[in-house]
Every structure is written in structure tokens, then in C-alpha cells.
Structure 1
């Protein structure tokens, strides 16, 4: 991660050294930040004055709150699909695959995740590594910790991880750029995921998800494998006939594997059970007119550990199928 400070997604923080006090964030106004300073200074050994200075160099950005409250994933499937299943993204996916074939093949061999899935996921996240985000991660995480009560606990933990990592790696925390939610790099890992699941796939002694495609692709493979991806299993199966009344109560709005696959079939749900996992979820995709029901297997659930949205996992899956078809797979 040390190398990142020298590259395109990191900007110099020199201008912040002379920060106008009138522009500094008043940490004392935000109980969550006050508590975080106490915890990190006592438990993590982070010098109090240094930590307060870093937090003071951030800002609360209300636009981030607005973006969190209207995520793309809340759109109905037919509208969400149109954002990602585009000819331009399919064509660029084929190019990305061709440019990174050796890496993709090595990651598939190591972790069992198909190359098409690796390509499509990065395509959805950052348009194949070309759009990494232009917001300061510190601002995003401070805003969501201090001023977004609904998920404050989650983002405060992410902020703590981010600050400790930046200090350990001697990186200016207020120089790192990423998404409005605080995600970093080509695969858009949150700080805790960066710490837990990123890998040094090219073996150069560092885990760099911003500048090194080998590490980025390898880390996606590792993340999915750790979260249950199983080599060779199917991802989903469309339901091919109307649901019987007895099966309607089995439908969920989430991808959690609530049912045994054979129980769904016994309840009259008609789908292809070949190649799927023993457990499954039954959910629907909202089309312009009506709903398409789908059975999601263990590998579909693994994709929703990356992003909990069913729409997201389906977009990655469908994009992967389209790209693989163009590649002749």
C-alpha cells in the first residue's frame, strides 16, 4: 500500500499542513469522533494530538449522505440492468480480458473463480479500473461515521481501520481518494476488506489494489473464495414456470440461502437443479411488467457478500455471461 501515495489516486497533502483553523472540522461537536479518539489513543497507540489533527483536516459532506440514501441498487432490476449491461461495457470487458489473460487464468486456478466473473465484477465496480473515485476517503468515512446514524457503527469501524492502516504505512490519510462510501482501488475494497482479504498476488512484497492489476484481480478471487465461492458450481437458475401458491411464501427479498434446493423443487418451483448447491435462495427480479423469479445458489450468495444487493450480483453475473459469449466461451 506504501507505493500508492506516489500514484494517480493519491494527491499531496502538503496544502493541508497549513490548514486554516476556520476551515478545520470541530471534532468536539461529534460524539462519535470524540469516542473514536479516546478508543484509538488508548487501544491503538495512535497519538491523540496527531489523530485530532487528521480528523480536523476532514469535512462533513452532505452530498455523501444524499448519495447513500438513493443508491443505484434500490432501482428496479430493469432500470439497474440498463446501467451496466451495455454494449460499451461488454466490448471493454472483452478488451480487459484479452489484456489480462495471464493474470486472470492464474487467479482462476488459485481461487476457482471463473475469469468472466473476475472481469465483470471489476467492470461493474470501476469500469475495469478506470474510475476509482474522486472523493477523499477520509471525508467519506468521517461523514458517514459522524452524521449517518443508520450505519454509523459500521463506518466508524471502517474509519478506525483506515486511519490505523494509513499511519502504519506512512500515508497521509487525507490524501487517499476513493468512492463516496470510502471504498478504495480497482476492486473498491472497504478498508476492513483491504486489510482482511487483499493479497500480494504478484509477490512484490506489498498489497496494492490501486496501481497493480495482479493484486486487484487476485484479491477479488480471494474475497469470493473466502466468502463461499465454490469452483464449478452454478450461480443461479431461472424459474421457468409460474410459482404455485404453495411456493409464494418461500420468496425472499434477500439472497440468504434459506432453503434446501430439493425443498424448493418439491414445493413446485420449476428450475434447473443441475450444478447448483444443496442450499438456495428464491427471489425475484422486477421487470417493466411483472416479476421474474430466480433461484440463487451458493455462488450467487458469495457475490452478495461483495455487495448485498441482488441486483448487483445479477448484473455481475449477466455481464460475465455476455463477455464470455463474446470471448467464445
Structure 2
């Protein structure tokens, strides 16, 4: 289990916090000593959440601004890969093989999660496989450094990351873990399922009932937490994820969904030239999308469970990769 540390709740007045920060012992590489932004943030945490200011001053005296994080988040977005290039990144023999091993190793926990939340074991395994290669790549940045850097030195998204920093300190106190020990991605995503702190506090669960939630080193809690996330975001047990479609006519492209949110229903799409390979009700709202596959364009209807996957990452190709990896895992195990 992670190193534990008690958090005091003694308050001090905001006046003098900047001076207190300036007078704090300076750790090697500390970058937030004397920062007015940090003083304001500490004042908020002491006023609204009862943290001890001295403890937060000491903590931020050890936080480090990471230029590599600012470089990564500011880097121009890569041109979106077509599906024919995106799919091979995640649908590999190595990822499938390791996924089968992970499934077998944690079969009991996955079956229990499926029973409790209605989310199939293969979908849970696939999410963890896509996010971190089953825990093999969970990130090497201290979460405190990542979130402090982005909260105080990245103005375009400072409000979001300031909120995540707040959530991170709250979860550290709730779980009684030292925030300096927790690591994650450059954006502060954590553990096997790469939860942001707000998602951790809202959806992570103590699935082994040991009194703590540990998604970093405890696959049982990670499995239960992924299932909990999907249950809360609308996953419906026993229902399909996608349906392939054929299209014809000059109006077919008018049916394509802009973004992720399902707007048009099956009946409206049929009038535009879409026909599903499966029997779907006319009133069902779906996400209609086209993928540029190796063999040419493919047309798909994303059903409610597909939309649930996009709530984890708002990308049609991400959701399709998760779905197809889950299918490959089932096939590799010889299941129907």
C-alpha cells in the first residue's frame, strides 16, 4: 500500500501566506516558493476545506515546475491519423496476448465487477490495455508537479487544472496518502486506468474492501473503478456497442455526426440513405461515423454503449479501438 501521511486541518489567516511561502525551507528545484498564485490557492484550501496552511506551504515548497510538461501540452496537435493507421497502434499481438494474461490473472475480480456493474470483463481489460498497457506505462511524473505546473503556469487551461489540483489534494487527504509519492501522466492522469483526480473522487471504488482506493498498484481497485465509471456513464448490460451500416445516395454524408453527441436517430439516418446491418429501433439516437479503413471507407452507428466509451475519451477512433480490442480478447480466449 502507498505511504500514508496524516493531514492536519488547522487554519491560518490568508494574510501573511505569501510571506510564509517565502520563508519556507526551499527544496532543491522548488519553483513555487513565494508565488502569489500559490498563496491564493492555499488560502482557498484552508478556508474552504480546512487544510493546514503550514502543511500546504511545505508541500508546495517541494513542487517543481516542469518545462517538459508545458512543452508537451503546448505542442501543436498532430494531424489526426486515419483509422487504417490508428487501429494498428492498439490492435497488436502483444497487446492482445498481454490482455489475455491480465484477464486470466484477474478473472475473479473481473467477473465480480461484471456482475456488480454490468460491464463485460473484456471491456474493462481493454480500457486498461489501451490506457496503460495493463499497468506497464502509468506515467513517471509526480502528479503534484504536473498539476501545479499546469494550474499555475499554463493559462489556457489553468481553471481546469487548478480544479484538478484541488481534487488531488482532497483525494490525498481522504485516502491518507502522501501526495509527493503519487505519479501519473504529464496531464495528471493516474494509475492503471488513468483517472484524473476528479474522476477518482467521483467514480473510483475500494473494490477489495481494504479501506483504501489504490488504482496505482492494486489491479482489483482499478478493475472495479473502471466498471464503476462506465456504469455511471450509462453503460447498459447485455447491449451491443456498434452496428455497421451501408450508405447510398447523395444525402448520406449529411447523416454523419458532428462531434460525439448522438443527435440523429436511426429513422432520420435511414431517410438519408443509411441502412444498419442490425435491427435497430427508428427512435434510437446514434453516433453516425465513417472510418477510413485499409480496405476503404466503413460506416458505423455508435450505440449507447459506444457513447459510454466516448465519455472516457471523446474520440470515435479511441472508442472503436477499445471495442475492437475487447472483441479480439474474447476471440483470443476462444469465447463466443
TM-score by length of 1: 0.86
Q: Cα 1:265–1:72, aligned 2, differ >3 Å: closer, same or farther?
A: same
Q: Secondary structure at the match of 1:189?
A: coil
Matched residues in 2 for 1:76 and 1:133: separation? 26
For structure 1, the 5+ residue unaligned runs are 7-17
Give 1:246's match in structure 2, choosing from 248, 251, 255.
Answer: 251
1:110 aligns with 2:139: no
Give 2:41's match in structure 1, choosing from 14, 36, 43.
Answer: 36
1:328 aligns with 2:326: no
For structure 2, the 5+ residue unaligned runs are 5-23
Structure 1 equivalent of residue 13 of structure 2: none
Greater shift in the superposed pair: 220-229 or 151-160: 151-160
Alignment of 1:59-74 (within 5 A): 59-68=64-73, 69=75, 74=80
Give 1:201's match in structure 2, choosing from 204, 207, 214.
Answer: 207
Q: Cα 1:79–1:56, aligned 2, differ >3 Å: closer, same or farther?
A: farther
1:137 aligns with 2:143: yes
Question: Quick check: 2:254–2:272 contact (8 Å CA) kept in 1?
Answer: no
Structure 2 equivalent of residue 14 of structure 1: none
Q: Secondary structure at the match of 1:307?
A: coil
For residue 71 of structure 1, report the CA deviation from its aligned partner. 6.4
For the pair shown, the structure with the greater C-alpha radius of gyration is: 2
1:223 aligns with 2:229: yes
Structure 1 or 2: more helix by fraction: 1
For residue 28 of structure 1, report the CA deviation from its aligned partner. 4.9
Matched residues in 1 for 2:28 and 2:95: separation? 45
TM-score by length of 2: 0.85
Matched residues in 1 for 2:39 and 2:300: separation? 46
Deviations 1:257-301 (CA, angstroms, capped at 9, x unpaired):
112222222321122243689211112324468643321111111
1:297 aligns with 2:311: no
RMSD: 2.5
Structure 2 equivalent of residue 271 of structure 1: 276
For residue 30 of structure 1, report the CA deviation from its aligned partner. 6.5
Structure 2 equivalent of residue 312 of structure 1: 318
Q: Cα 1:203–1:270, aligned 2, differ >3 Å: closer, same or farther?
A: same
For residue 238 of structure 1, report the CA deviation from its aligned partner. 2.3
